Amino acid sequence: MKLTFRWYGDSDPVSLSHIRQIPGMKGIVSAVYDVPVGEAWPLETILDLKRSINEAGLELSVIESVPVHEDIKLGLPSRDRYIANYKTTLHNLGKAGVPVVCYNFMPVFDWTRSKLDYELEDGSTALIYEEEVVERMNPLTGELSLPGWDSSYEVAELQRLFSQYESVDEEKLWDNLAYFVREIMPAAEEAGIKMAIHPDDPPWPIFGLPRIMTGRASLERMIGLYDSPANGLCLCSGSLGASADNDVPELMREFGRRGRVNFVHARNVKLTGPKSFQESAHLSSSGSIDMYEVIRAMSDFDYEGPIRSDHGRMIWGETGKPGYGLYDRALGAVYLNGLWEAVRKERLGRLRLSHS
């Protein structure tokens, strides 16, 4: 596996020089943030991003994300123009040598939480999702500002989008995803890019909006839309693991052996209810996900792709974007690297015994 780290560009308080000092760190996960959603990314802008990363001694390993315009998710006639722009972006990313692109198909909102700074027992703070709190929220009041919510939407625009989504149920959203996937995957193949769709976070509907990337059946349906290694998954342990119905190591092993795991997000969560959870340190003992088993599953199919320590607590007085501080994600990356070294040596030992 290849260790990578999320970096939000020059405005990120975490610098590339900080990231490079993390033992075992190889790659950067980033994006172009100043191009409006739906417009094509210029090649020179992508090359500028890659150049700044290379000059710091790192590689641009993953683009996360190339956002999918809402008109595509809604299946509006205008979607073809935005899909054409998406293809142009993929071709330009291919020319720049970017191997993996992560994206999601969540209507309106990306990952969503109920509280930014919940204090854990050790005094650190973390992101949490409380079902009863979210159920009382009204996203159309303009009073909410939470991570994962697209702040570019004014209240009137949100109201319009919610009205449009009234006619989009899960099956209609699947139809729109299938249309998108079958259009862009040939362009991804031509560009030499592996696409990785991110599971919905959390993996259930919110505010009456459909969510369809939630577990094994939906992951299976997704890869069946287009039969190609380019049409792959981002296996996010935290997103999928927020539901007790999902056995994350087994999902990793099953889809990895089939060559469809193109990116991994390693995040641990502690389940506190059927649809409630706290984000935790990456250690298996800190949350409900056995990270050792997740890494061992990756070793079982000789995963060679990128992985990043996803979402961290805020520790040691660090401030900044909740979930994206340097310290705990760096600790998580080193922990993942240590697990990988251990399971690889264990496997090598078993192979030697079997041949002795």
Cα 97 off chain centre by = 20
Q: How far is CA 101 from the centre of its chain?
A: 10
Active site residue 234: no
C-beta separation of 224 from 230 below 8 A: no
Instruction: Note if 179 is an active site residue.
Output: no
CB neighbourhood size of 159 (10 A): 14
Q: In this structure, are residues 95 and 189 in contact, taking their beta carbons and an 8 Å threshold?
A: no
Closest CA to 6 of 324, 355, 255: 324
**Which is catalytic among the residues 12, 265, 290, 303?**
265
Confirm whether 324 is a catalytic residue: yes
Q: Which residues make Cβ contacts (< 8 Å) with residue 46, sequence separation at least 6?
A: 32, 92, 93, 96, 98
List C-alpha distances in Å: 189 to 171, 182, 197: 27, 11, 15
Clarify whether 265 is annotated catalytic. yes
Catalytic residue flag (residue 18): no
For residue 350, give the H/E element and its range.
helix 326-354
Q: Token digits for 143? A: 């009073």
310 is catalytic: yes
Q: Residues 71, 86, 226, 236: which is the catalytic one?
A: 236
**What span, in angstroms and rounded, lies between the C-alpha atoms of 147 and 326?**
17
Three-state secondary-structure class, residue 108: coil
Catalytic-labelled residue, pool 82, 86, 165, 324: 324
> Looking at 103, 200, 226, 311, which residue is catalytic?
311
Q: Among 198, 201, 226, 282, which one carries the catalytic annotation? A: 198
What residues form DSSP beta bridges with 115?
Answer: 128
Active site residues: 198, 236, 265, 310-311, 324
